[in-house]
Amino acid sequence: MNFTMKLYSIVIFLIIVIFNNNYSLAINCIECDNSDKNCTTAPEFITKNVACDLEKGQQCYVQLEADGTIKRGCASDDFCKDNTDNCVQCKDNNGENIPCNVQILPKTRPKCYVCKGSDCLKVDEKKTKIEYCQYLNKSSNLHCFTKTVNQDVTRGCLAKSGIQCDTSDCKNCTNTDNDKPCNNDDGQINDKFSCYECRSDAFKECEEPEKNKQKVDKKECKNPIEGCFAERWAGITFRGCAEILEDSEKAKCLENKNGCLICKNETLCNGKVFNSAIINSISTVLLITCAFITKKLLN
């Protein structure tokens, strides 16, 4: 009886060993290159995998390319032998069917805040997107930038961005903390931001201000981040700084794309010519008229 139990135990042990060996003969590796930006910056989003046969001496690898991007895949276990500074291999997936070649190279690869538009004016550490830089700037230790053109702020990685950050409206910086991007300065708003300010029932040139630039009044906005507005209500065109509008009026304006415009991209951006057939609520006309009168009285 004892012999039978021992023999049974040995058989079970051998089955387990054989099963485990067969199970671990192949692992999945991420396979990608620079054609997918995530290969360098966010490998966890790569879905393409390749089977790597450990029995044939293969392992997953992560290789830093000459342009600073990353390539991932499966290769012979000596693939990184002559390039250990820029290449790593792995075969341990911690017993899970999850690729092990998710490392970011180099370990000091910079991260930058990446965003665009007026919402990018100030960095929100909890909401503003952070990305590893896809390319490395080999000729400089400058990593990230913040560029402001009128009311539009752009943040990102400097290397191969196409941004010439050598003017007063652009700031570049070097990451000293690998976990915290350096481009967290507030965008530099143009404090000389102006809008056309008029209404067409009192001044006919207000219909086409771009053709009558010298005649149409222009207003320098006190709060330029709000931008300019132009609206067509009940056959009348209104233009001015968006700061004079109540929040409810701004919401209505944004909903009525054909008869309304709020713009922030450049000074005097509210010169849009409207179709005179667009007619809307007379109550809105009165609200905007009151806003204009109030603004004039306060000034």
pLDDT digit string, tens, across residues 72-130: 999 999 999 888 889 999 988 766 668 999 999 998 899 999 998 867 888 888 889 99
The arithmetic mean of pLDDT across residues 233-252, rounded, is 89
Looking at 66, 87, 107, the residue that finishes a domain is 107
Residue for token pair 């965008």: 187
* Tokens representing residue 204 in the block: 């006919």
Domain membership of residue 185 (yes or no) is no
Residue for token pair 């192949």: 26
pLDDT at 137: 82
Which amino acid, residue 69? T
Of 159, 158, 131, residue with least CA distance to 67: 159
Are residues 74 and 123 located together in one domain of the fold? no
Domain membership of residue 9 (yes or no) is no
Are residues 200 and 268 located together in one domain of the fold? yes
Residue for token pair 């390039």: 83
pLDDT at 110: 92
pLDDT at 190: 55
- 3-state DSSP assignment of residue 97: coil
Are residues 209 and 259 located together in one domain of the fold? yes
Domain membership of residue 32 (yes or no) is yes
Are residues 212 and 139 located together in one domain of the fold? no
Q: How far apart are CA 211 and CA 215, in angstroms?
A: 9
Kindly tell me the burial class for residue 147, based on how many C-beta atoms sit within 10 Å of its own C-beta (0-12, 13-18, 19 or more): buried
Domain membership of residue 137 (yes or no) is yes
Are residues 199 and 293 located together in one domain of the fold? yes
Q: How far apart are CA 299 and CA 244, in angstroms?
A: 12
Q: Is the pLDDT of residue 291 over 50?
A: yes
- Rounded to two decimals, the pTM is 0.58
Are residues 290 and 209 located together in one domain of the fold? yes
Which DSSP letter does residue 25 get?
T
Are residues 73 and 165 located together in one domain of the fold? no
Are residues 215 and 290 located together in one domain of the fold? yes
The mean of the pLDDT values for the chain is 81
| Half-sphere exposure at residue 56, Cβ-oriented, CA atoms within 13 angstroms | 10
Are residues 277 and 294 located together in one domain of the fold? yes
Higher pLDDT, 25 or 197: 197
pLDDT at 58: 95
Looking at 107, 129, 148, the residue that finishes a domain is 107
Beta strands in 140-235 (DSSP E): 144-149, 152-157, 170-173, 194-196, 198-199, 218-220, 228-233
Looking at 107, 124, 154, the residue that finishes a domain is 107
Domain membership of residue 55 (yes or no) is yes
Counting the structural domains of the chain, the total is 3
| Half-sphere exposure at residue 286, Cβ-oriented, CA atoms within 13 angstroms | 3
Are residues 212 and 267 located together in one domain of the fold? yes
Are residues 168 and 77 located together in one domain of the fold? no
Q: Is the pLDDT of residue 238 over 80?
A: yes
Are residues 74 and 40 located together in one domain of the fold? yes
Domain membership of residue 182 (yes or no) is no
What is the tens place of the pLDDT at every residue in 189-198?
Answer: 555 778 999 9
Domain residues for the domain of 52 are: 22-107
Domain membership of residue 17 (yes or no) is no
| Residue 18 pLDDT class (50, 70, 90 cuts) | very low
Residue pair 217/224 in contact by the 8 Å Cβ criterion: no
Domain membership of residue 184 (yes or no) is no
